[in-house]
Amino acid sequence: MPDSLALTESTYYILLSLTQPQHGYGIMQQTEAMSKGRVRLAAGTLYGALNSLCEKGWIIQLPCDDGSRRKEYRLTERGKNVLRNEVSRLRELVDNGETILGRE
């Protein structure tokens, strides 16, 4: 899958929340806060997304202590590039919308 495709809102917020190491519950809370409650991730949805993002190389699971069930994740350099591309794409959408609507 190319790294330049449009991201879902959930994926966008998951990646944003992982600019600092974070565990699943923290990701869920931060995503909900950043989206002002619009994006609420269920545990199953979140962990499926985390597995997919790990497979793409956009995030990594950090090593955890023996016996710990708490998994932490972090954005990779590739993931940061994906996020930067998405911010640029979204900025273009907003600029185009403002230009067109400003003509009315």
User: Structural domain boundaries of the chain?
Assistant: 9-102
Residue 4: the pLDDT is 67
Instruction: Tell me 38's DSSP state.
Output: S
In the 3-class helix/strand/coil scheme, how is 72-85 assigned residue by residue?
A: EEEECHHHHHHHHH
Low pLDDT (below 50) residues in the chain:
none
Question: Which amino acid, one-letter code, is at 35?
Answer: S
Residue 2: the pLDDT is 64
Pick among 1.10.3720.10, 1.10.10.10, 3.40.80.10, 3.40.50.2300: CATH of 9-102: 1.10.10.10
pTM score, whole prediction: 0.88
Residue 39: the pLDDT is 95
